[in-house]
Structure 1
Amino acid sequence: MTYAEILSHIYALGRFGIKPGLERISRLMAALGDPQKNLPAVHVVGTNGKGSTASFLSSILTTAGYRTGLFTSPHLISFTERIRIDGREISEDSVVHLAQRVMAAAPPDTTFFEMITALAVLYFAEEGVDIAVFEAGMGGSRDATNILDGLLTVITPVALDHVEYLGADVPEIAAEKASICKPGTPLVSARQVSSAGEAIAAKAAGIGATLYRCGSDFDACWKAGKLEYRGVGVTLHEVVPGLHGRYQSCNAATALAAAEVLSGIGFPLERAALVGGVENASWPGRMEMFDGEPRILLDGAHNPAGAEALADALAEIPRGKLVMVIGVMADKDREPLLSALLPLADLVVTVSPALERALPAAELAESCRRQGAAVEIGGSVAGGVERARELAGADGLVVICGSLFTVGEARGHLLSRPFEAFRG
């Protein structure tokens, strides 16, 4: 099978939807020889900031000299972004070779996420990584990544998500996400709303997991544009994170604390690796700046929390005119997102990403006008980006946001790379 045929097959598994449980993935891994049993791993779960936190942590480990795997989802442009070793994407040839083995061993009803989790585990195991950082899907005891016996669990800020599977409110969701933590292993938590923090603490106490909490056991703040970190046992000054945005202080602090904990359980890390890893981290599509005239900023803000974080970050970016390119999915509540972002824009260009779920650009334009924004309909993502460039002027700033689909398609256009419109 070719790479394109492999992708067509595994993307088609999306028809099975979300099917929590470890039965299928357990059978699949057993058929592959259980490669997960000898793979040291870190679980990263939560609602917001998982990708950034995982990127910071994997960068720290790579900087320290550990051969480090990183599994994340979704991708922005290409499937290969999901599986990396020391920052390098898996090759298409490796995808073909490994996916054929995984497909041959998979039960008939294996889901897309189970398939790619197995592929990542097999790749990392056979490539001999020292440690792998796995961003969970939904998180929780029934998440496919729970097939791994994690050395450490990291929980990023928890909010309402996947309520039909995880729980009816934030405390229930936090408790379920935390249940991926193995008894007696450490747990590092980002700053949480009080109800989530209490639920996580109760779960940790119930399984004998040592809990490290942002705000009490470690923390970070900005000082003169640089990060000050007060850690579990280390203090760092004047760190310049590779990921931009003031909200990254929480993600960087959580990753640094996780690295400190790992240092005490078999993965020693020097101070230089902590600083260098944070400063060298990259995470495409999240406050990612393309220099030029005008500058173009990509950010995957697609929910109210993300929009507020983007708005906060934009307040510190000098600019002329701000032209915002927005494209959203029809099945998402767009009004809170627009309320946070539209007041910042001098002009909005609405676009419609190239997939069925996308809201038509004209309909989105009407929503923007109702909130008082000056709007132009851009149509396609590529057309909207080029029109926004014209409107912004040389000293302006073009901000592309609203959906990871919008950001991914725009990034593909800017880099002249084919865009694979699948999330999963």
Structure 2
Amino acid sequence: MAQTAGNSPGDLVYAELLARPGEQFPQPRLEPVRRVAELLGDPQNSYPVILLTGTNGKTSTSRLTESLLRALGLRTGLFTSPQLERFNERIIIDGEPIGDDTLALVWADTKPYVEMVDAELAVADEPPLTFFEVMTVLAYAAFADAPIEVAVMEVGMGGEWDATNIVAAAVSVFTPIDLDHVDRLGRTIAEIATTKAGIIAAGGDVVTSRQTSEALDILAVRAHALHDPLLVEGTDFAVMSSTMAVGGQVISLRGLSGTAYEDVMLPLYGSHQAQNAAVALAAVEAFTGRRAIVRDVIEEGFGQVTIPGRLQLLSATPPVYLDAAHNPHGARALAASLTEFFAFDDMALVFSSLDDKDTTGVVDALAHSASVVFVTESSSERSRSVSELAEIIHERAPQLTVVRGASLQDAVEGAREWATQGESRGVLVTGSVILLGEVMALARTQGWSLS
């Protein structure tokens, strides 16, 4: 999402990076990123890194992992993407987004070397460093300057050639692998898993959620070849139970150490979040030598975690929730959470989707979660048109009422007005991370946001 134009130091850095090739055009290469990092003194090698990839659950698992590490008393760095509202959200130092002045200082130190590598690429007739490549180097440099004691880095796309993969990860973490970005990563789960398995480095631990047999086989082969232990959910660690509770769920987990962590509050909804918590706990146990973690640390780490845009309550009257589901796997998890944790008689969707996403698959997954859909467009040039979205929904879910929003504001206001006309109605904004950020900004501007 393009944040509001401004003249703050952070806004100016963001504007410079936006002039580069965007995140939708990743380059399958690592050498230029390594070259910039080398010129900077290889800041990524000054602290251990936990590297996470997968199709869904990466951001949630990254945030849960970082929160547990911080509860252990470690000074942390967290790198995730995309942002919902401001670029600074992507680079978190000890629990707080990087400050504008700090960001500007790191960019001032980094920019000459970025331009040097751009010139080298031009001579080789290659594209300049991309937005994501530069942003990744900025994160590594900012963490070294802080300084931090451990970084949790969320892979952008794939793994093997992703810009984050210029480190030998202490722990390589895999959330569920499914079909997404098939034009870039491969058209089968095995092909996608092969690309993602490229983050596994010799000498580290490998932690993975439950996977399909195709994906797990690929990870096992890679881990075995590098003599790394492969630690699998359901075998080496597990979710023992999950019970709905006010504000989230109460979970019991079995860790790598064999310790049972029983009846811990997790302020997140959905069985997939319990699984993300189990993977995060296993990652932290692996990082700390597979020792049991004190219960107070678990409670603090999980209790303080916030994950914007994951069944986030934006407004209470009427209830408006945000969820970043933008592919079929994520949409299926969202639909299951709505059935398991919410008891609305009726639900409206405010829906938008980008043209490189499997919109049909998302609509199929959410078709029985609502009765009316307010379709709209985000500001992205890749946003599908309202008419195209309406046609897809009419074809795939003819039972749904489709309302075409003349604008984003009209769609949101229409959905909120619809929700006030019944006693147990809710609104869910979903389909695009860009859409979520713009609705959050709209709600704050109009004064109906809880935050």
TM-score range, shorter chain: over 0.9
Alpha-carbon deviations, 1:329-372, whole Å to 9, x = none?
A: 23333222112213221221111111221122233223323322
User: Contact between 2:170 and 2:203, CA under 8 Å: does it hold in 1?
Assistant: no
Amino acid of the structure 2 residue aligned with 1:241: L
| Partner residue in 2 for 1:377 | 404
Q: How does 1:125-136 map to 2 (within 5 A)?
A: 125-136=144-155
Residues of 1 paired with 2:168 and 2:45: CA distance? 7
Matched, 1:322 2:347: yes
Secondary structure of 1:145's match?
coil
Cα shift at 1:321 = 2.9
| Partner residue in 2 for 1:45 | 53
Q: How does 1:190-269 map to 2 (within 5 A)?
A: 190-225=209-244, 226-233=250-257, 234-264=259-289, 269=293
User: Contact between 2:51 and 2:173, CA under 8 Å: does it hold in 1?
Assistant: yes
Matched, 1:95 2:103: yes
Residues of 1 paired with 2:282 and 2:445: CA distance? 38
Secondary structure of 2:429's match?
strand
Matched, 1:277 2:277: no
> Are residues 163 and 333 of structure 1, via their aligned partners in 2, closer, same or farther at CA, if it must alter by over 3 Å?
closer
1:339 to 361, 364, 369: 364
Residues of 2 paired with 1:75 and 1:3: CA distance? 13
Residues of 1 paired with 2:333 and 2:92: CA distance? 27
| Partner residue in 1 for 2:122 | none
User: Contact between 2:314 and 2:440, CA under 8 Å: does it hold in 1?
Assistant: no
Secondary structure of 1:149's match?
coil
Residues of 2 paired with 1:216 and 1:136: CA distance? 25
User: Contact between 2:327 and 2:362, CA under 8 Å: does it hold in 1?
Assistant: yes
Mean Cα deviation higher: 152-161 or 190-199: 152-161
Residues of 2 paired with 1:383 and 1:94: CA distance? 38
Secondary structure of 2:251's match?
strand
Alpha-carbon deviations, 1:143-167, whole Å to 9, x = none?
A: 2112122211111111233445544
Residues of 1 paired with 2:181 and 2:357: CA distance? 13
Secondary structure of 1:339's match?
helix
User: Contact between 1:175 and 1:199, CA under 8 Å: does it hold in 2?
Assistant: yes
2:138 to 105, 119, 133: 119
User: Contact between 1:388 and 1:398, CA under 8 Å: does it hold in 2?
Assistant: yes
Residues of 2 paired with 1:96 and 1:217: CA distance? 44
Cα shift at 1:227 = 1.2
Residues of 1 paired with 2:111 and 2:196: CA distance? 28
| Partner residue in 2 for 1:306 | 330
| Partner residue in 2 for 1:295 | 319
Residues of 1 paired with 2:293 and 2:66: CA distance? 12
Amino acid of the structure 2 residue aligned with 1:360: S
| Partner residue in 1 for 2:416 | 389
1:286 to 287, 295, 310: 310
Amino acid of the structure 2 residue aligned with 1:272: D
1:25 to 33, 41, 59: 33
Residues of 2 paired with 1:19 and 1:330: CA distance? 20
| Partner residue in 2 for 1:86 | 94
Cα shift at 1:268 = 8.2
TM-score, normalisation: structure 2: 0.87
Matched, 1:76 2:84: yes
Amino acid of the structure 2 residue aligned with 1:130: E
User: Contact between 1:124 and 1:132, CA under 8 Å: does it hold in 2?
Assistant: yes
TM-score, normalisation: structure 1: 0.93
Residues of 1 paired with 2:242 and 2:192: CA distance? 34
Residues of 2 paired with 1:6 and 1:15: CA distance? 15
> How many residues matched?
416
Amino acid of the structure 2 residue aligned with 1:90: I
Cα shift at 1:382 = 2.6
Secondary structure of 2:153's match?
strand
1:366 to 379, 382, 391: 391
Cα shift at 1:213 = 0.3
| Partner residue in 1 for 2:439 | 410
Residues of 1 paired with 2:156 and 2:440: CA distance? 23
User: Contact between 2:49 and 2:150, CA under 8 Å: does it hold in 1?
Assistant: yes
Cα shift at 1:140 = 2.7
Residues of 2 paired with 1:64 and 1:379: CA distance? 49
Residues of 2 paired with 1:331 and 1:161: CA distance? 10
> Are residues 223 and 105 of structure 1, via their aligned partners in 2, closer, same or farther at CA, if it must alter by over 3 Å?
closer
User: Contact between 1:354 and 1:380, CA under 8 Å: does it hold in 2?
Assistant: no
**Where does structure 1 lack aligned partners over 5 or more consecutive residues?**
418-424
Secondary structure of 1:183's match?
coil
1:58 to 63, 66, 69: 66
Residues of 1 paired with 2:216 and 2:92: CA distance? 31
> Are residues 268 and 68 of structure 1, via their aligned partners in 2, closer, same or farther at CA, if it must alter by over 3 Å?
farther
Alpha-carbon deviations, 1:113-138, whole Å to 9, x = none?
A: 11011100111111011111000122
Residues of 1 paired with 2:261 and 2:441: CA distance? 37
Matched, 1:14 2:21: yes
| Partner residue in 2 for 1:420 | none
Alpha-carbon deviations, 1:20-44, whole Å to 9, x = none?
A: 2221111101211221221211101
> Are residues 263 and 240 of structure 1, via their aligned partners in 2, closer, same or farther at CA, if it must alter by over 3 Å?
same
> Are residues 408 and 119 of structure 1, via their aligned partners in 2, closer, same or farther at CA, if it must alter by over 3 Å?
same
Secondary structure of 1:217's match?
coil
Over the aligned positions, Cα root-mean-square deviation in angstroms equals 2.0
Mean Cα deviation higher: 268-277 or 350-359: 268-277
Residues of 1 paired with 2:159 and 2:309: CA distance? 26
User: Contact between 1:51 and 1:72, CA under 8 Å: does it hold in 2?
Assistant: yes
Matched, 1:183 2:183: no
Secondary structure of 1:179's match?
helix
Amino acid of the structure 2 residue aligned with 1:220: V
**Where does structure 2 lack aligned partners over 5 or more consecutive residues?**
1-6, 119-127, 245-249, 447-451
In the TM superposition, structure 1's runs of 4+ consecutive aligned residues that sit over 6 Å from their partners are: none
Residues of 2 paired with 1:241 and 1:178: CA distance? 29
> Are residues 15 and 135 of structure 1, via their aligned partners in 2, closer, same or farther at CA, if it must alter by over 3 Å?
closer
> Are residues 327 and 273 of structure 1, via their aligned partners in 2, closer, same or farther at CA, if it must alter by over 3 Å?
same
